[in-house]
Structure formats: structure tokens, C-alpha cells
Amino acid sequence: MRSLVGVPVVAALLMTGCGGRECGKGTVRDGNSCRQFDSDDKSAPNITVNPPTRTRFVGNVTLTSNEPAIIYYTLDGTTPTTASANEPNHVLIPDMPDDTLVTYFAVDKAGNASDVQEARWEIDRAGPRTRSLSLTLAGDARNLAWEAPSNGDLAGMVLARIDGRLGAGPADETMYEAGNIIAPGLTVVYAGPVTPGETGVFSETLSTPVGGMVRYAAWAYDDLGNYGPGVADYETQSLPAQTGTLSVDVATGVVDAVQPVLFHVVGSSTLVGTTLSVHLALENRTTRVVFAPKLVLANIAGTVGGSWNDSDGSIGPNDYRSYGSAIAPGASLVRTYTFINVLPTEVIDASFSVETGRVLGTTFWDEYASGSITDEAVNQMASILGPAPQARGPAGNLSMRSAGITPDGFYIMGSRVSARVVAFDLTTGLPAMGVTLAPQSANVSRLVVDRAGMAIYALVTPGHPYSQRLDETQQQAENVLVRLDAGTLRETGRLPIGIAAPSADLRLSPDERSLSIVTRSASRVVVVDLEEWSVADTFVSTGARASAWSPNGSFLHVVSNSAVRTHSTATGFPKTGEFAIPSLSRVMRAAFVADGRLWVGRENELQMVDVGTGVVLPIDNYDGVSLEVYDGDAFVAGSGDSQVYRMNNSGVEVMQYDFDDSNYGHHIARSPF
């Protein structure tokens, strides 16, 4: 196009003369002057729109012509005319929402008009997800192997070392370099461009923390600067024996301690009459969360008739005091030890050890509490989790569903009576953060958290669990799968998956690249590609109630009340096998153990199924409404149970864990170490 100067009115081309108010032939008026234009110019102006139509947000919109021209535009979807809003050469439309529609055309000084065009924006704030990250330790060498996403808009990756708890990850539209601190305890070790599907390795040598955790995370980002959900891997180091000694001077109240290596014990004491209260703080000086911390006292001496009378239980011959469900790195908790019949002249000596282990959690349906935590090793309750007020339903009760317990010591729950997801800090037993995913009425019908504690997937159902909400056409409203960052509960993706019942079943594949959703609506099974964040397949499996991925991830087994169907993970998930199973009640959950046997949990029974032979072993006198497999054993609970039962791979009960008798146990979670 040729650059012309003049007013964009075709009639001006017909004006004659060059004095007074008229311009001569071959000229147009430009202010108070007449200028020539090229009569051979037949090219319409070209308009550039900014921001580009794929963007993170719209905001200020500009329309810019490549030559002098008047730009006409509308914002209401109507076709613009020469009577519409207009500006010469450049238009600025400030603070526009993401759903803006701009319709425009331009006329240059020669009278050439461009076609009417529309600008709509594709809002993209979801970055790509790294396919995998694996960590191996060889002495002090830390070796990472990663696989980049296959997304075409991939731009690069960031690898970071995590020391302590993980909080916020990389900030969108921010470029990092090795050595940058993203957040406290999160240090960039590599940052740079990668190509789709690329694999790579990274190594660094650092001393391995004794009894701690070595952990790394990877985030990919796209050409807009959007960071996707992180993936991570970690290895924990076993805690060596942590022992020390205490000496309590009753007269002065001074407590002296010979400290263990990875914990620190400090305290004081007060004597009232003959009752001595010793206040001991236990500080976690490892680089990871410790679960089920306990201080075990032994060899108590120095008192004639005094004794410790308020222990929480015993390990072998020695009593212990529980320090709750967990202690975060760098944090400390205080407990009081009460000794009776103590004389003011005595000095009490004792040796101690610090013990840790796994915890088991279950959720409640209760007005004042969300769930409870049991110390798995000693089978004693470690703590009651406080209320999450914004997760209450119309009746005022909490009714929570578990996603899992992260390596950072957060217990992730979803509300059954509101669309609220809450992260409880197991160090305090209180909600640390929460997010509401939809207005009332809605509920979180099921949610899962990945192994590394990086991503949460929550299925949000419109309406109450027993009364689904209708849309404007009086049809059941669609469910949506919401992806959250586990460290911050920041939403990182939202995916409609169609109609699903409030009791839909979710299962992550072993490689955590896929998620199966048994909708319990029209027998639909939905498989989500978590890397592409899209529905990869939808198929019908008659009466589908639950699903379980085979241990190697090659098959998805779909369970109805009367059959188990095996589906290949090839495109379309074709059925490759089916066999009948006895049906006495509704199937609620299914899970594999590593040797290929499938646990099936029902409302009033348990079954163990050999998927190779179709042989079904009934397990009498147990309910399987809640069912998870950990370390090859099944952990099961009924809808009204206050116990969780641990079953070995022969179907034999090996442990019964007691929870608060006044509450219903709903969903089970277990700490990762």
C-alpha cells in the first residue's frame, strides 16, 4: 500500500480548484492545506490488532493502520459504518474484558476501504505440563532425567531444588536463570529453551541431608510465559536413631538436655505442691516434614516416689508423649509432662528417643471437626482436625472427602456440601488455605492428589449430593474437572467433562499422565490426558461404577456391580476382556495390588478378584465404601464405620485402626512416609 495524506471521504476526490474551501483535481484537503494523492492507489489499508488474538488477557486494545486512514469500529457486535466511532490511524480502547468483540474497518486517503473484520481473543493462561521428572541419588550426586511436554507452544523449562516446604512456584511471564530464588527454599538449577518432546538430564553434587529429603520440581512454560503445573520427584533419607538425655532441676525449674542430631529439645518446669509440670518443646531440624512425632522417655531416675502419670501410650516398656500428626521443618511443638509425688529437692533424669512414622487420616461428617489423624505404628489418635467454616453446607455440618496427604504435611480435602477445597496443616491441625471452586449450590464429588504433592484434581458437581442442579434448559448442569497447585491451591486449569453423578470415581494412572473418571451417569467413562489437559477418550461401559489402572498402566479395568471389563489404553480404549463377579451390593471403589489382583469395595462387602483367572475371593463382614491400597495392603472402611481395617493380600485383617467413635469415617488418606 502507498502512503497517502488526506481525508478519507470519497467525495473529496471529485473536488476541483485549490483555493478557498475546495481542493483541485488530484488533491485532497489535509487540515488547511491541499495535498496530492496517488490516483493509482487501489490498496485498502491493513489494520494490526494488539494484543494478539491469542493472549493471557485482553486489557487495552489497539487498532493501528499501516497508512493514514480513518478506523471505524464497534464493540457491540454490530457492523460498523462511517457513522460509527472512529479515530485516525490509531485506536486505543482501554481496559477491555476477556470476552471483548471488536468489529472494524478502515478507509484510507484515497478512499480505499478495508473489509469489515472481527477481533475475538483466545484467552490462554494454562501452561504446558512437563511429562515426567525422575530423581536418582548416587552418593552425593543428584541425577535428574526429564521429558518435556509435546505441546506445540512450548517455549522452555525451569528445574528447581526444593529445600523445606514447597510454596509458590514460578510466576507467569517471569524468566528465570540458574541460581535465582523463586521463593524461600526454591532455587533454580536450570532454566532454558526446550523443544516439544525433548528429553534431558541434569546433575549436581550436594551433600545429602541426613534423615532429610532430596526433592526437585520441573515447570514448563509456553510462548506467552504461562507456567504449567509442576511435576516433582523426591527421595527421603531414613532417620538414624535420635536419642538424648534430660535433667530437670525441680527447685530451679531448669531443664538441661543432651541433644539428638536432628531434633532439639528445650523446656522448663514448675512445681505446685508435689505436682511437677515439665514443658518440653520438640523442634524438627531435618529438611522434611516428620509425621507422627513422639518423644519416648526411659530410665526415669532421681525421684523417690514421683512418677509420670499422663503419657499417651507406650512403645515396648517405655511411655511416650505424642507431638501430634506432624512437625514441619524448622517448626516446634510443645507438650506438658505431669509428674506426681515429686519433692522440691529432687533432680529428675531420663533418657529419651524421638520416634516418627506414618499417619493415617479419615474425614468426618461433623459440625465441629473435619477429620482425624491416627499414628499408624502405635494405633493411637494423633490429632483431630479443626473445622473449615466455608466448607459447611446449608445444615451447618462439615462433610469432607480426602484427596491425600502431601510430602509437605498438608491434608487435602474437598467438601461434600460445598465446592470448597481445603489444605489442613498437620503441624497445627487447622486449615492453612482454601479455595471455593463454584458458588452454592455445588460440591466436590471426588478429588485426588499426585504422589509428589504438586497437583490436585477436583471434580466439581453442581447442586447438592442428593439433588443435582439444573442449567437454564432444565438439564443437569455439566461437571468440571479443576486442576489446582497443591502448594498454593491456585487454579491452573478447568475442563468440562459432561454430566457426572455426585459419587463419580477418579483414578490417576501409574505414570500420572492420565486420569479416569467413572461418571456413574449413562455408563460413561472419561479419560483425561493430563499433559494436554483435554478429554482424550470417552467410552461407554455398561453400569460402570469404579475403575482401576493395571500396575503397569497398560489396561484400565472398569467395574460394574456384576462384571469387570478390561480395556486397552489404545485409542478408544477398546474392551479386551470381561468376566462376571457376584453382586450383593453396589460397587463403590476398586484398586489394584502390585501382583495383579483387584480389590473391589462394595457397600456391604469386599472382594478380591484375580483378573487373570476371573476367580473372586469374597471377604465377609467388611464394607468397602472407602478403599485404598498402600504398600500392597488394602485399607477399607464402611460409610458408618469409625474404624479403618488393613487387609493383607490374602484377604486377612492385620490391623484395625480406631478413629473418633462419634463421627462417620468417609475417605482414607495416608502420609507418603
Average pLDDT over residues 94-101: 96
Q: Write down the residue that cell numbers 550426586 correspond to.
A: 141
Q: Which of 58, 70, 61, 78 is nearest to 105 (CA)?
A: 70
CATH code of 207's domain: 2.60.40.10
For the cut 90, the answer to whether the pLDDT of residue 598 exceeds it is yes
Each residue's pLDDT tens digit, 435-481: 999 998 888 989 999 999 999 999 999 887 666 555 555 456 789 99
The pLDDT score that the predictor gives to residue 401 is 84
- Please state, for a pLDDT cut of 90, what percent of the chain lies above it: 76
Distance CA 244, CA 547 (A): 49
81 and 103 share a domain? Answer: yes
Same domain, 111 and 147: no
CA distances for 621 relative to 581, 600, 602, 656, angstroms: 18, 14, 11, 13
Judge whether 377 lies within some domain. no
Do residues 273 and 344 share a domain?
Answer: yes
Specify the pLDDT at position 15: 35
Domain end, chosen from 123, 157, 174, is at 123
For the chain, percent of residues with pLDDT exceeding 70: 90
Same domain, 351 and 263: yes
Residue 217 domain boundaries = 132-236
User: Is 93 within 8 Å of 61 (Cβ atoms)?
Assistant: yes
Q: What does the longest C-alpha to C-alpha distance in the chain come to?
A: 124
Whether 279 and 231 share a structural domain: no
Q: What is the pLDDT of residue 390?
A: 74
Query: Based on the structure, what is the number of domains in the chain?
Result: 3
Lowest mean pLDDT among 85-99, 151-165, 203-217, 392-406: 392-406
Give the pLDDT mean for 618-637: 91
pLDDT of residue 466: 62
The helix (H) or strand (E) run that includes residue 123 is: strand 122-123
**Which of 164-168, 489-493, 525-529, 624-628 is modeled with the greatest confidence?**
525-529
The string of pLDDT tens digits covering residues 15-42 is 333 445 566 666 665 566 676 666 678 8
Grid look-up 492453612 returns: 432
User: Which residue bears the cell 463382614?
Assistant: 621
pTM of the model: 0.87
Domain boundary among the residues 123, 156, 185 is at 123
Please, are residues 169 and 187 in contact by the beta-carbon 8 Å criterion?
Answer: no
pLDDT, one tens digit per residue, over 306-358 is 999 999 999 999 999 999 999 999 999 999 999 999 999 999 999 999 999 99
416 domain residue, yes or no: no
Helical (H) or strand (E) element with 236 = strand 231-236
Q: How many Å apart are CA 441 and CA 521, to the nearest integer? A: 20
Task: Please name the amino acid found at residue 598.
Answer: L
Q: Is residue 265 part of a domain?
A: yes
Contact of 55 with 224, CB cutoff 8 Å = yes
The most confident of the ranges 276-285, 583-592, 657-666 is 276-285
* Residue 199 pLDDT grade (very low, low, confident, very high; cuts 50, 70, 90): very high
Integer Cα distance of 610 and 564 in angstroms: 10
Task: Specify if 523 maps to a domain.
Answer: no
Mean of all residue pLDDT scores within the chain: 90
- CATH number of the domain at 305, please: 2.60.40.290
